[in-house]
Amino acid sequence: MNWERRLYLAAHPVAYPLLRGLARRGPVVRVPGVGVVVNDAAVARGVLMDGETFRKDGPGSPGELWTPVLGPSVLLNMEGEAHRALRRRLTDLFTPAYADELCGRVLAAPLDRLRDRLASGAPVDLVDAARVLAGAVISEVIGLDLAAEGEFRRLFERGERIVAMVSLRTRRLSPAQIRRARAVLDPLGDAAAKSYAAGDETTVMGRMRTLGLSADEARGAAGAFFLTGTETVATFVPRVVALLADSGRLAGAPADGFLDRAIDEAMRVTTPTPVMLRSVHRAAEIGGAPVRPGDRILIATHNCCRALGPFDPDRPHPPELRRLWFGAGPHFCIGYPLAMAQIRRVVRTVLDATPLRIVERSAARGVLIPTYRHLSVRSEARRRGDGAGAGVVTLVRRGRSAESGADTTFEERTP
């Protein structure tokens, strides 16, 4: 059993086998009590592109889940002209240039500390490191005045407590869950509102004010970014490093082209959004199957993505699959540039420390997004001298196979 499957089974021991079993039933499957399940990337993209027929604000949709927590106007629970108007105002919020500048500024010191720990040759838990780094970025986005690693770690844990309330089967939160979520989010909203009122255009909240968002819209957006962006980035970083290690593709500082291909391919395999929900607004067909108003559509993004095969950064993605894990059409993730800017900087810092050895890993349980509980790595560059990394890196497995959980060592061999 490979490690990605192990992570999914640890997170969703019942739902994941059922989800993968549905992939063998065809591109579109009606499942009593669940809804209409879409397993085909082209069909899924068609659903996501049609925001008039398939909506996020009806019964069984994300809006039903998150509106009681985030409010009525946070993009992920909106449709129609109101959604288009808010989306237009947010279009220039996270431009690639601004996202890269923000991450470069915020992550400079934390990444220096990570680089030093790796260079020392001591084991480094990439799960903890990724959480701290994600917490640093979201702290800046919201407008919190945090600086210490412990503060960033606690901020991440607060979001994790909310997301942990949700499973692949959750349709809505209970009143008690809503109260617990509000207890976490309300203070963050207060900080976002304060940053918004200050109007500093170098801050994300200040930019929202300049772009014409109301204080309530900015506050809701801050909560949505906190819930949807932080855990996605933090859970992904250890998984992409593990995929590169287990596939024998972990070589020293790769060229930008390979890094982006490897990240995209790892996103496909890990599928940070394993399912997406929509509610049918008007009668239509999906892949030849009729659907009726009120039907719940469950896009099995993981099934759509995994149909392409195992991890292979050299294989191009077909058009219908391109970044499907971030959505498509009117709801394509507006935070995509920010997520990618974070991931590129963190993964490059880790890869600069190769050759690496995975010394410990275990799967997390009771989480929505499958992830590692621990993934500790050790750089062997120091003990091999300054010349390490100049040659060809080949994979040497010691003891049991990497799939069994044994340590994996990467040794450099010059041509």
The answer to whether the bond into 355 is cis (omega within 30° of 0) is yes
In a domain, 401, yes or no: no
Residue 380 lies in a domain: no
CATH of the domain at 165: 1.10.630.10
Residue 343 in any domain: the answer is yes
| Structural domain of 316 | 13-354
pLDDT in tens, the chain (415 residues): 599 999 999 999 999 999 999 999 999 999 998 899 999 999 999 999 998 899 887 777 777 777 888 777 676 667 777 778 888 888 888 899 999 999 999 999 999 999 999 999 999 999 999 999 999 999 999 999 888 889 999 988 888 888 878 776 777 888 898 899 888 888 988 999 999 999 898 889 999 999 888 888 888 888 888 887 788 899 999 999 999 999 988 765 566 688 999 999 999 999 988 999 999 999 999 999 999 999 999 999 999 999 999 999 999 999 999 999 999 988 898 889 999 999 999 999 999 998 888 999 999 998 888 999 999 999 987 665 544 333 333 333 333 333 334 333 333 232 3
Residue 377: the pLDDT is 95
Distance between CA 144 and CA 117 in Å, rounded?
A: 26
Q: Is residue 8 part of a domain?
A: no
Q: Please state the domain count of the chain.
A: 1
End-to-end CA distance of the chain: give it in Å, rounded: 33
Sign of the torsion angle spanned by Cα atoms 325, 271, 129, 76: positive
Residue 237 located in a structural domain: yes
Whether the CB-CB separation of 110 and 311 falls below 8 Å is answered with no
In-domain check, residue 403: no
The residues, ordered by sequence, that sit 6+ positions from 13 with a Cβ below 8 Å of its Cβ are none
Can you give the pTM of this predicted structure?
0.85
Residue 141 belongs to a domain: yes
Q: Is 334 within a domain? A: yes
